[in-house]
């Protein structure tokens, strides 16, 4: 008998295109095109969260501004107009984990005001990888980032999207 338990699920690199996109197409919010583009390139390196994250990051970073902007616009507002029940399961879990569903009336009003101002200034929602942060810290980051110039904020938002993606991949990763 071998020392390790049998592996029950295929690794990402063993999945066919449809299986891979079904499993990993939601890593980047409502943007399965990232997983679709990665699938033909899959190797054993992509069976680990960090390897897959690097590959997905490269795809997004080389996709061009229109695709990147569409990706940013696919993200929900934090404590925004959408009810938590309307968010993807990942987004809902991430936002509730940060306590964003427990905002005081004052915090909620400030988030809504900042969301409106941010969208007007940048043309996409404020994106913050909330895992490991409390709503007070997120609100402070929001206050600071609202004054960024558009190029800085575009880059910052993409960096946050990549952090979200890595976090989601790490949550899916099974120990080897």
In a domain, 4, yes or no: no
Structure tokens at 66: 């229109």
What does the alpha-carbon distance between residue 159 and residue 137 come to, in Å, rounded to a whole number?
18
Per 3-state DSSP, what percentage of the chain is helix, strand, and coil (rounded to 5)? 65, 0, 35
In a domain, 119, yes or no: yes
pTM for this model (two decimals): 0.86
Q: What pLDDT is attached to residue 80?
A: 61
- Over the range 36-74, which residues count as b (16 or more CB within 10 Å of their CB) and which as e? ebbbeebeeebbbbebbbebbbebbeebeeeebbebbee
Domain limits for position 133: 12-172
Q: What pLDDT is attached to residue 89?
A: 73
Q: Which residue has the higher pLDDT, 120 or 97?
A: 120
Q: Which residue has the higher pLDDT, 54 or 108?
A: 54
Q: What pLDDT is attached to residue 1?
A: 41
In a domain, 100, yes or no: yes
Residue 75 annotated in active site:
yes
Q: How many percent of the chain have pLDDT more than 70?
A: 86
Q: What pLDDT is attached to residue 78?
A: 83
What does the alpha-carbon distance between residue 75 and residue 157 come to, in Å, rounded to a whole number?
10
In a domain, 72, yes or no: yes
What does the alpha-carbon distance between residue 97 and residue 118 come to, in Å, rounded to a whole number?
23
In a domain, 93, yes or no: yes
Q: What pLDDT is attached to residue 76?
A: 86
Q: Which of 39, 46, 58, 75 is catalytic?
A: 75
The CA-atom distances, in angstroms, between 149 and each of 61, 142, 152, 153 are: 19, 14, 5, 6
What is the per-residue pLDDT across 29-43, written as a single tens digit (0 to 9) for each? Answer: 999 999 999 999 999
- In angstroms, the first-to-last Cα distance of the chain is 17
What is the per-residue pLDDT across 132-146, written as a single tens digit (0 to 9) for each? Answer: 998 999 999 999 999
Number of domains in the chain: 1
In a domain, 125, yes or no: yes
Say which residue the tokens 């936002």 belong to: 95
In a domain, 81, yes or no: yes
- Which stretch of 5-19, 50-64, 72-86 has the lowest confidence by average pLDDT? 72-86
Which CATH number do you get for residue 68? 1.10.3330.10
In a domain, 7, yes or no: no
């Amino acid at each position: 008998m071998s020392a390790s338990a049998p592996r029950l699920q295929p690794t990402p690199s063993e999945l066919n295109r449809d299986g891979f996109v079904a499993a990993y197409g939601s890593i980047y919010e409502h943007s399965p095109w990232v997983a679709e583009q990665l699938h033909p390139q899959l190797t054993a390196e992509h069976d680990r969260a960090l390897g897959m994250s690097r590959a997905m990051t490269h795809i997004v970073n080389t996709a061009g501004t229109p695709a990147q902007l569409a990706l940013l616009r696919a993200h929900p507002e934090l404590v925004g107009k959408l009810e938590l029940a309307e968010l993807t399961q990942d987004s809902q879990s991430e936002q509730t984990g940060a306590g964003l569903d427990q905002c005081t009336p004052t915090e909620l009003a400030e988030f809504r005001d900042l969301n409106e101002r941010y969208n007007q200034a940048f043309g996409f929602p404020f994106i913050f990888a909330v895992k490991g942060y409390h709503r007070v810290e997120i609100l402070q980051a929001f206050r600071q980032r609202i004054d960024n110039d558009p190029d800085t904020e575009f880059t910052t938002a993409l960096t946050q999207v990549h952090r979200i993606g890595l976090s989601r991949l790490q949550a899916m990763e099974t120990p080897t």
